[in-house]
Copies of this chain bind each other. A is one copy, B any other.
Amino acid sequence: MDSIKKLKSITDKIDCPEEKYYKLAKKKLDNLTKPIGSLGRLEELAVQIVGITANSRPSLDKKYIFTMAADHGVVDEGISAYPREVTLQMVYNFLNGGAGINVLSRHAGAKVIVVDMGVAAELKENPLLLSKKIGYGTKNMAKGPAMTRQEAAQSIIAGINIVEQYVKKGADIIGTGDMGIGNTTSSSAIVSVAAGVDVCMVTGYGTGLDDKGLKNKIEVIRKAIKINEPDPDDGLDMLSKIGGFEIGGIAGLIIGAAFMKIPVVIDGFISGAGALIAQKICPISKEYMIASHQSVEKGHKIMLKVLGLKPLFNLDMRLGEGTGAALGISLAEASIKILNEMATFAEAGVSEKSS
Residues of A near any B CB (own CB < 8 A): 32-36, 38-42, 81-83, 85-86, 89-90, 92-93, 96, 98-100, 102-104, 106-107, 207-210, 213, 296, 312-319, 323, 327, 330-331, 333-334, 337-338, 341-343, 347-355
Shortest A255–chain B CB gap in Å is 28
A351 and B82 contacting across the interface, CB-CB below 8 Å: yes
Shortest A81–chain B CB gap in Å is 5
B331 and A327 contacting across the interface, CB-CB below 8 Å: yes
A81 and B353 contacting across the interface, CB-CB below 8 Å: yes
B318 and A40 contacting across the interface, CB-CB below 8 Å: yes
The A interface is mostly helix, strand or loop, or mixed, namely loop
Shortest A93–chain B CB gap in Å is 4
Query: Which residue of B209, B313, B337, B350 is within 8 Å of A315 (Cβ)?
Result: B313
Integer count of this chain's copies in the complex = 2
- Beyond known contacts A93-B343, A99-B343: 17 more, CB 8 A cutoff: A33-B99, A36-B208, A39-B323, A82-B351, A82-B353, A82-B354, A83-B354, A89-B350, A89-B351, A93-B350, A98-B342, A103-B341, A103-B342, A207-B353, A312-B313, A313-B313, A313-B314
CB-nearest residue of chain B to A297: B38
- A90 vs B32: C-alpha distance when bound (angstroms): 12
Shortest A293–chain B CB gap in Å is 9
Q: Which residues of B contact A208 (CB under 8 A)?
A: 35-36, 353
- A90 vs B83: C-alpha distance when bound (angstroms): 57
Q: Which residues of B contact A323 (CB under 8 A)?
A: 39
Shortest A120–chain B CB gap in Å is 15
CB-nearest residue of chain B to A330: B330
- A82 vs B208: C-alpha distance when bound (angstroms): 53
Q: Which residues of B contact A342 (CB under 8 A)?
A: 98-100, 102-103
B353 and A317 contacting across the interface, CB-CB below 8 Å: no
A347 and B40 contacting across the interface, CB-CB below 8 Å: no
- Pairs of residues from A and B, 6 with the lowest C-beta to C-beta distance, nearest first: A98-B343, A40-B316, A38-B319, A41-B315, A35-B207, A93-B348
